[in-house]
């Protein structure tokens, strides 16, 4: 069959033509609306209903032109995106071969888009890897080791740099180990200061907390036992000092040590010290009794009051304390009188 002559391309079937048609239709719509407004302004309506009908009738053509303008604009944009600015579009009567050619063209466009994305990944691959390296180094400097390990896994799995990723992983683990070791050193120094002031309950609490935070670190594995051993050693030191003070008749020193020792001894552990403690306490009571009597005899009323109050406080259930209670008010009156006489 002889080839049929090619149909002349219609300009207004192209996207550019449709954009021009849209603009012309919009101008025409505006002109028609303006004419309708002028015409309506010169007419007087007696009936409001009739005025409304006339307005609808006057503007309907302008509205239709505006809708046609919007349609032409949308159709032109679609054709421009699919076929290009100069394409006429898909003719209304195409052969099967023409349809196949169109599908082929669409497939080529799709392949090119995919190829473009792949090309971008290839082109920016090295930049991505460099950015990943920099991010890993920054996380190491910031001591954000978990985030750095995530990026290392990305470098290995996504980009295939397994050997470099392993080197980074070793750096991270080494930096993390050094950081943990430094933190543990600081915590142990604080713990030793608490032990030095003999606050063993707080020290034990801190030791257990450190073990919970760093359960896999050998340096803190027996930290609670370290505190208990320090407490035991301090307790034995107090025992020795107490016995030495009692042997030297250092009653005040022995009493002070006995009071502190009471915080550490169990009932069974205190048994060997009971006899010595009774002797020390008895001597302390006798010494206070002697001091009280001498202060009363020498009319040192303020000193007598101070010693008497100590007897009542330390030995409340003794005969001596009862005698002091009977005389304490009189001693206070005499002390007040003595002070008044001195001031006069």
Alpha carbon distance 87, 10 (integer Å):
10
pLDDT of residue 155 exceeding 70, the answer is: yes
Predicted pLDDT at 114: 53
Which one is predicted more confidently, 77 or 199? Answer: 199
- Write out the two tokens for 114: 């995919």
- Write out the two tokens for 186: 């600081």
3-state secondary structure string, the chain? CCCCCCCCCCHHHCHHHHHHHHHHHHHHHHHHHHHHHHHHHCCCCCCHHHHHHHHHHHHHHHHHHHHHHHHHHHHHHHHHHHHCCCCCCCCCCCCHHHHHHHHHHHHHHHHHHHHHHHHHHHHHHHHHHHHHHHHHHHHHHCCCHHHHHHHHHHHHHCCCCHHHHHHHHHHHHHHHHHHHHHHHHHHHHHHHHHHHCCCHHHHHHHHHHHHHHCCCCHHHCCHHHHHHHHHHHHHHHHHHHHHHHHHCCCHHHHHHHHHHHCCCCCHHHHHHHHHHHHHHHHHHHHHHHHHHHHHHHCCCHHHHHHHHHHHHHHCCCCHHHHHHHHHHHHHHHHHHHHHHHHHC
pLDDT digits (tens, 9 = 90+) for 109-129: 555 555 455 555 665 677 888
**Which whole number is the average pLDDT over 302-323?**
84
Tell me the pLDDT band of 342, cut-offs 50, 70 and 90.
confident
Residues 40 and 58 sit within 8 Å (Cβ to Cβ): yes
pLDDT of residue 4 exceeding 50, the answer is: no
**Which whole number is the average pLDDT over 25-31?**
84
Q: For the chain, what are the domain ranges?
A: 11-88, 125-221, 230-343
Range picked from 3-7, 58-62, 219-223, 250-254 for highest mean pLDDT: 219-223
Residues 257 and 245 sit within 8 Å (Cβ to Cβ): yes
Range picked from 86-90, 211-215, 322-326 for highest mean pLDDT: 211-215
pLDDT digits (tens, 9 = 90+) for 49-108: 666 777 777 778 778 887 888 877 787 777 776 666 555 544 444 444 544 555 565 565
* % the chain with pLDDT above 70: 81
Average confidence score pLDDT of the chain:
79
Q: Give the global pTM.
A: 0.46
pLDDT of residue 8 exceeding 70, the answer is: no
């Amino acid at each position: 069959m002889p080839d049929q002559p090619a149909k002349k391309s219609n300009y207004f079937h192209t996207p550019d033509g449709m954009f021009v048609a849209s603009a012309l239709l919009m101008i025409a719509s505006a002109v028609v609306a303006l004419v309708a407004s002028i015409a309506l302004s010169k007419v007087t309506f007696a009936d409001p209903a009739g005025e409304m009908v006339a307005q609808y009738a006057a503007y309907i053509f302008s509205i239709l032109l505006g809708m046609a303008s919007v349609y032409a604009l949308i159709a032109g944009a679609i054709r421009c995106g699919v076929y290009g600015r100069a394409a006429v579009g898909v003719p209304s009567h195409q052969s099967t071969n023409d349809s196949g050619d169109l599908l082929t063209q669409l497939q080529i466009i799709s392949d090119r888009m995919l190829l473009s994305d792949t090309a971008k990944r290839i082109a920016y691959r090295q930049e991505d890897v460099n950015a990943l390296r920099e991010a890993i180094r920054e996380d190491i400097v910031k001591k954000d080791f978990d985030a750095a390990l995530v990026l290392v896994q990305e470098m290995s799995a996504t980009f295939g740099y397994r050997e470099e990723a392993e080197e980074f992983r070793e750096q991270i683990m080494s930096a993390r180990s050094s950081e943990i070791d430094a933190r543990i050193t600081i915590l142990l120094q604080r713990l030793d200061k608490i032990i030095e002031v003999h606050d063993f309950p707080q020290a034990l609490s801190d030791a257990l907390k450190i073990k919970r935070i760093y359960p896999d670190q050998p340096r803190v594995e027996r930290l609670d036992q370290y505190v208990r051993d320090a407490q035991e050693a301090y307790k034995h030191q107090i025992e020795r000092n107490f016995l030495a003070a009692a042997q030297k008749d250092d009653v005040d020193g022995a009493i002070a040590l006995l009071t502190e020792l009471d915080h550490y001894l169990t009932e069974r552990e205190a048994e060997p010290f009971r006899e010595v403690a009774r002797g020390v306490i008895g001597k302390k009571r006798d010494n206070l009794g002697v001091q009280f009597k001498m202060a009363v005899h020498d009319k040192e009323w303020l000193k007598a009051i101070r010693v008497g109050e100590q007897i009542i406080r330390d030995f409340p259930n003794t005969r001596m304390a009862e005698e002091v209670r009977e005389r304490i008010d009189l001693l206070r009156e005499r002390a007040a009188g003595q002070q008044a006489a001195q001031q006069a």
